[in-house]
Structure formats: C-alpha cells, structure tokens
C-alpha cells in the first residue's frame, strides 16, 4: 500500500508538543509540521523549504518596495572579506571574532591572507564607499543589500539562531551626525516598526540598546523588540547609528560646500530570516502555525468536498478560485488521494488564515462555509458574497492577531521597584519595567543571576519625577526613565 507508506513518511502524522508543556519542542514541531525549514547537514545551517521561503519572499517584496520608495538602491558586495579589513575597527573585530568562518584555501592553494565569510558588511562596503563618495553632492548615499551572512552558532535554533542566515543590510552615509542618527531612527520607526506591526501583526517596543547590547562598532543601536508567547523577548530588527567610527577607519570622506574634507556619518540596519521565527512564536497555537494574512503565502485555501471529478461542488470551487485568484493568494485543493479531514488538518498546521469549504449541501443552499484559522469560527457565506466576506475576514484576522499579541504584551509587562519583585516577576516571564543605573557591570551581574538583560530604553519612556535608583544595585538611575528587562532569544 504505497499510500500508507507515503503518509507515514511525511510529517503529517507527527504530534505537536503542547506550548504550555514544552515550548522549545513546540517551536520545533510547528516548523516541522508546517514545512517551513529543517536543519542542514552542517551543524547550525538551515534548509529553508518552499513554504518557509515563500514567507521570506513576501517579507522581501514588501520591504524592498519600501526601501525603493525611500530612495535606497540595492547593490551587491562580495561574500569574502580580507581578515585585515575587520581589524580596522577595533570594537567591530572584537565583537565578531568568536563568530567567524574563515576560508584558508582557494583554488587548491593555501591563501596568503585568510578570508572571512561576511558576518555583516560594514567593512567591505565602507572600503568601497570611500571610493564612491567624493563631494557633498554624493550624499546621502543610501545602499541596501539582500544577502546571506555567516555567524558561527554554537546553540542553533531554526530561524532564530543559525550559522548562515538571509537578511537585508542597509548602509547609509550622511553629512552630519544628526542626519545619520535621524535616518537610523526613521528606518526603525517608519520601516521596521511599521512592517512588524502592520504586516507581521507583531506589536513591538522601540527603543535604544544599552552599551552591552549595542552593535560592535556603533555609537548607538536602536531596536524593535517583541514578546513571544513564552515570555521571552525577540530582537526583531536593529538600526545602528555608527557615527564616524567606521568613516575614520576606512577614510570615508567628502568635500563639503566650503571645499573642506569631512568624515561622513553612517548608519546600518537589518532584519533577517529571524523574523519568520518571530511570526511562528507570536501567533501559532497547539494545532500548528498561524500566519497573519498579509504575509501568508496562501491567504485562502478552497477545499471542495467531493467524490468524483465532475461533482458540481468541485466545479463551483474552481469557479470561486478563478474569480478570486487575482485578488487573493489562494490555493484550490483538488487532491483526490486525501480525505477532506486530512486536508483540513494539513492546512490548519500550515497556518492558512482562512479555509473555504463547499460540499453538496452547501451548493444546494447556494452557500459555502468560511473557517477562520485564528479563532476557529465558522461563517456561512452566500456564494454571491464570497469576495467581500473573504476580504473582511482576512482584515479581521490580521487585526485580531495584532490585538491578541498586544494584549499579551501589555498583560505581561510589569513595573517593579525592588530586586525581589524583579526576580519573582522574571520567573513568570514577560517584560519588566524598572529603573537602572546604566552601568555595564551591573547589567552583566543581572544577566549572570537571572539570564535577563536590558532589551531597550523605550523611546516613549517618560522621565519620572523624584529620585530613582537601580532595581539591582541601588545606584542612581541617571535618566529617571524605566528600562525594559527580559530574558531573550
């Protein structure tokens, strides 16, 4: 019975661990049963399967259009960076050294200088920017690259931490320090936050990283952070104000309006395939993946309930598919080797936001049934009304996913003012809002004791009146604003 073997061989029959019981296994199971990715043969690497890659393509499409709208140009820089380039920026090489993959042999020979496989492209790009930028008229220079990068990963997790991952890295050069900082903030707010909230339906905190957590070589790092269902935080995207640190190392200069040579001020910013891990962990449930409609490879799956290829309900399903295919990303499931329940089960696990069922009785009544993936709600819909109803429901699902995630984030954010409460609260998971002395050593001590770190100082944190002291060490909190602490991926 080949069909039986086929079923056993696939992942369909695997049980999904319960979130509440084993969150780590649940995450692995969701990725597996939804067919998003699997581990590659080399430890830490990942094969992104077609369904997972289709999500990445949607992410790329939306972000790339936004970048182009902002005047950012795509380019492509080499994968291999001379080891000496990395060493030009002291903090940068210190930060990345432990994570590097090194090519020592090429074309059958030992290389004179080892080559680093890019962990990020500041050094190779800015050595080139130095040749491209001459005058103030060449600024701002706004460049983006879609590429793979490699950072050696000891504890790999699909999408969240992989030795190789896909990302976009934006790199810009500006005339002034203020302009660079503003640009990094604009990317964070108008692109990354907007994208996470509007498309991925993931509410994010936006703010500034502590000294410990900032990018190696940056003056400041700005971040979007999201709370996952297990109460841990995920850094979803960052934008760095690089000041003139790299410009000085790579002599990226311009002639200003007065004819004087000046260093440029730079930014870099990126989001990666890690976002897919964030989508999985934000919305999915014990039955499988749940995808926000705006990013789902398939928004609507049409499942006719039929016995023979000429059954009227199959014909009607084809007609519906034909009518909707230019408006929504749809899939008509006309396979004849699976029972309808198996099909429902499969699409549920793959997180398709909306399912349209049509059987003989539905057809006779001139209707179909729409089933929401997020709530399980069934909506009987007249056949004359399908397009409008699908549109409304997809919008409702998108909104509901965002609002549910936002409610969870709010529920799981607490203000604490003493260390006992900090520790106790942390065990429950979620965000802790607390005063902090802003000393690097203090943060490291907190991390050692609790595995929690500062996630950011939110931009909207208000300065509170009175004298405030660090929740951990009791020293003064210099800004009088609360930082956000959490355990993080």
Residues 363-382 that bind a second copy (CB under 8 A): none
Question: Which C-beta is closer to a second copy: that of 114 or that of 231?
Answer: 114
Contact pattern for a second copy over residues 92 through 111, marking x by CB under 8 A: -----xxxxxxxxxxxx---
Selected from 17, 28, 79, 414, the binder of a second copy by CB under 8 A is 79
Nearest one of 459, 473, 467 to 419, comparing CA atoms: 473
Tokens for 145, please give them: 């690259």
Are the C-beta atoms of residues 119 and 99 closer than 8 Å to each other? yes
Question: Which C-beta is closer to a second copy: that of 98 or that of 341?
Answer: 98
Asked if 65 is part of the footprint of a second copy (rule: CB under 8 A), the reply reads no
Tokens for 173, please give them: 């050069």
We find the least distance from the C-beta atom of residue 66 to a second copy, in angstroms, to be 15
Q: Is 310 helix (H, G, I), strand (E, B) or coil?
A: coil
d(CA 399, CA 377): 15
Asked if 150 is part of the footprint of a second copy (rule: CB under 8 A), the reply reads yes
Asked if 124 is part of the footprint of a second copy (rule: CB under 8 A), the reply reads yes
**Sheet of 354-358, strands arranged across:** 330-332, 300-304, 354-358, 367-372, 378-382
Contact pattern for a second copy over residues 282 through 321, marking x by CB under 8 A: ----------------------------------------
Gyration radius of the chain's alpha carbons: 25
Question: Which C-beta is closer to a second copy: that of 155 or that of 467?
Answer: 155
Asked if 212 is part of the footprint of a second copy (rule: CB under 8 A), the reply reads no
Asked if 136 is part of the footprint of a second copy (rule: CB under 8 A), the reply reads yes
Asked if 9 is part of the footprint of a second copy (rule: CB under 8 A), the reply reads yes
Name residues contacting a second copy, limited to 26-45 (CB under 8 A): 38, 40-42, 45
Tokens for 186, please give them: 């604009």
Q: Is 193 helix (H, G, I), strand (E, B) or coil?
A: helix
Asked if 117 is part of the footprint of a second copy (rule: CB under 8 A), the reply reads yes
Sign of the Cα torsion 97, 101, 104, 106 reads negative
Selected from 120, 163, 233, 313, the binder of a second copy by CB under 8 A is 163
Task: Give the list of residues 6+ apart from residue 364 with CB closer than 8 angstroms, or none.
Answer: none
Nearest one of 191, 213, 214 to 204, comparing CA atoms: 191
Task: Give the list of residues 6+ apart from residue 78 with CB closer than 8 angstroms, or none.
Answer: 118, 124
d(CA 427, CA 243): 38
Name residues contacting a second copy, limited to 322-341 (CB under 8 A): 337
Question: Which C-beta is closer to a second copy: that of 103 or that of 312?
Answer: 103
Selected from 89, 164, 285, 443, the binder of a second copy by CB under 8 A is 164
Task: Give the list of residues 6+ apart from residue 293 with CB closer than 8 angstroms, or none.
Answer: 299, 353, 354, 394, 395, 397, 398
Question: Which C-beta is closer to a second copy: that of 52 or that of 217?
Answer: 52
Asked if 73 is part of the footprint of a second copy (rule: CB under 8 A), the reply reads yes
Asked if 57 is part of the footprint of a second copy (rule: CB under 8 A), the reply reads yes
Contact pattern for a second copy over residues 225 through 264, marking x by CB under 8 A: ------------------------------xxx-x-----
d(CA 385, CA 205): 39
Q: Which stretch binds a second copy (CB under 8 A): 50-58, 233-241, 264-272, 381-389?
A: 50-58
Residues touching a second copy: how many (CB under 8 A)? 71
Q: Which stretch binds a second copy (CB under 8 A): 14-22, 53-61, 326-334, 467-475?
A: 53-61
Q: Is 61 helix (H, G, I), strand (E, B) or coil?
A: helix
Asked if 76 is part of the footprint of a second copy (rule: CB under 8 A), the reply reads yes
In total, the chain counts a number of residues equal to 489
Selected from 78, 366, 376, 478, the binder of a second copy by CB under 8 A is 78
Nearest one of 293, 289, 298 to 201, comparing CA atoms: 293
């Amino acid at each position: 019975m080949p069909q039986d073997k086929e079923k056993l061989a696939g992942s369909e029959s695997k049980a999904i661990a319960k979130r509440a019981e084993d969150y780590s296994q649940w995450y692995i199971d969701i990725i597996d049963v939804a067919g998003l990715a699997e581990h590659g043969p080399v430890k830490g690497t990942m094969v992104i399967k077609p369904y997972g890659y289709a999500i990445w393509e949607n992410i790329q499409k939306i972000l790339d259009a936004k970048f182009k709208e902002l005047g950012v140009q795509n380019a492509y820089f080499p994968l291999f960076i001379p080891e000496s380039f990395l060493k030009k920026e002291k903090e940068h090489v210190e930060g990345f050294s432990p994570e590097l993959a090194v090519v020592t042999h090429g074309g059958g020979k030992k290389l004179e200088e080892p080559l680093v496989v890019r962990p990020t492209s500041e050094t190779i790009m800015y050595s080139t920017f130095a040749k491209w930028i001459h005058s103030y008229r060449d600024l701002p220079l706004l460049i983006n690259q879609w590429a793979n990068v490699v950072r050696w990963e000891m504890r790999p997790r699909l999408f969240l931490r992989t030795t190789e991952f896909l990302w976009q890295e934006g790199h810009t050069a500006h005339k002034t320090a203020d302009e660079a900082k503003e640009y990094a903030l604009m990317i964070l707010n108008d692109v990354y936050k907007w994208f996470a909230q509007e498309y991925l339906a993931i509410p994010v905190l936006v703010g500034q990283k502590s000294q410990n957590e900032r990018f190696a070589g940056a003056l400041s790092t700005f971040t979007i952070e999201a709370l996952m269902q297990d109460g841990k935080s995920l850094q979803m995207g960052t934008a760095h104000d690089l000041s003139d640190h790299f410009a000085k190392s790579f002599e990226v200069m311009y002639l200003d309006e007065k004819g004087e040579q000046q260093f440029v001020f730079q930014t870099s910013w990126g989001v990666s395939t890690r976002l897919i891990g964030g989508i999985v962990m934000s919305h999915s449930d014990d039955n499988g993946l749940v995808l926000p409609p705006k990013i789902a490879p398939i928004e609507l799956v049409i499942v006719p309930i039929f016995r023979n290829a000429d059954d009227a309900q199959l014909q009607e399903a084809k007609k519906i598919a034909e009518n909707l295919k230019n408006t929504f990303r749809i899939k008509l499931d006309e396979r004849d080797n699976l029972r309808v329940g198996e099909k429902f089960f499969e699409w549920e696990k793959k997180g398709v936001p909306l399912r349209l069922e049509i059987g003989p009785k539905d057809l006779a009544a001139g209707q179909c049934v729409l089933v929401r993936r997020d709530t399980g709600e069934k909506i009987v819909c007249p056949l004359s009304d399908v397009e409008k109803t699908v549109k409304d429901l997809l919008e409702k699902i998108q909104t509901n996913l965002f609002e549910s995630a936002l409610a969870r984030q709010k529920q799981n954010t607490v203000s604490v003012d003493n260390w006992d409460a900090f520790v106790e609260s942390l065990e429950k998971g979620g965000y802790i809002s607390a005063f902090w002395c802003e000393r690097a050593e203090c943060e490291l001590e907190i991390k050692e004791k609790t595995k929690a770190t500062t996630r950011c100082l939110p931009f909207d944190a208000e300065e509170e009146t009175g004298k405030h002291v660090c929740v951990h060490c009791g020293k003064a909190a210099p800004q009088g604003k609360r930082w956000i602490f959490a355990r993080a991926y």
